[in-house]
Structure 1
């Protein structure tokens, strides 16, 4: 009996059709603030504290987000372009139908967050914390991810396309339909034994062979 061919299900991408935004005119962000159909451009939001805020149909462009507190925030049908910052706190946030383009960030806290139909395109993010997060229909495209932490996270229909994944931690991860084949650079620091549910290319298999061998205790000698 012939074996049934299996394929990796592709991620569903967001389809943003944003209305013409109104300018953001408030003095700053507020806890539990409700922001609908707004353009936030070139603002210094560093250090502001807005847990529980909701952003819907918003454009966030060229804003500084250093240590901005957005725990439990909700981002829906929103695009962030050229944002920058270190220590942005989005712990336990919810992102649905969101695009993040050309971000330059470090130490972003997304642990416990829920990401659904999200595209992260271009730019560089160092030390991204996605521990125990839930990612479904998420695409990382053309972005450099340095030492991202996916520890204990759930990844379903997640794609890495033309991006650089350096020193990734997949400890305790659960994967389903995760596509790593088009990842330009794939370096796994921990959790290679959790790749069940992922698809890699033959070339990547060869590159990862020493890591696989070390994970199962195989000694390779000439």
Structure 2
């Protein structure tokens, strides 16, 4: 059974509440030897290693105390899935559907994903470390105690999402969309790159560095209707 860390170890700082990171300790796992994912499947204490799960239907499935390592998830349908107390390492795929899913106490390490759908999902105590995710769709999702560390996020969409105690540490955000998002105790100061395409006016509730403020100044001025000549 996984155990959870009581507190975070991210960038933090005076007056900024740090995210609580997951600390997953998996029990001895059984190798997965099933025929494939099933809708509403129940997967407990299993190790999925180098499995090709592309195109499979796992809507509503539950993964508890599992490890997925090097698995292919192209167009895998996991709508409404629950991923709990699990570690996902080196997974890869395009068009993975995790919309309206729950990820709680999860470590996602060195993922290579494109167009992954997490809109309407709930992420709590999640660590995303390393890897690259293109076009991450988190519209109207709820993120609480989430850390993005050392990863690259290309055009992530946080539109209408609620972010509470979320940290971006040594990661790249390029073309991020925060339109209609609500941010509380979001720490962007340690991001390696902060490029906001839309929703710069929604950064209230976030903490940024002086250098980031200078980078965002043209967008902020345009948002306020200020001409700089």
Q: Same fold (TM over 0.5)?
A: yes
Alpha-carbon distance in structure 1 between the residues aligned to 2:124 and 2:63: 15
TM-score by length of 2: 0.94
- The 5 Å alignment of 1:24-173 reads 24-173=32-181
CA shift, 1:6, in A, is 6.3
Number of aligned positions between the proteins: 217
TM-score by length of 1: 0.97
* Alignment gaps of 5+ in structure 2: 1-12
CA shift, 1:207, in A, is 0.8
Alpha-carbon distance in structure 2 between the residues aligned to 1:32 and 1:75: 12
CA shift, 1:17, in A, is 1.0
Q: Which residue of 1 aligns with 2:20?
A: 12
Task: Find runs of 4+ consecutive structure 1 residues off by over 3 angstroms.
Answer: none
Q: Provide the alpha-carbon RMSD of the alignment.
A: 0.9
CA shift, 1:182, in A, is 0.1
* Alignment gaps of 5+ in structure 1: none
Alpha-carbon distance in structure 2 between the residues aligned to 1:55 and 1:215: 43
Q: Which residue of 1 aligns with 2:6?
A: none
The C-alpha deviation readout for 1:125-145, integer Å capped at 9, x for no partner, is 000000000000000000000
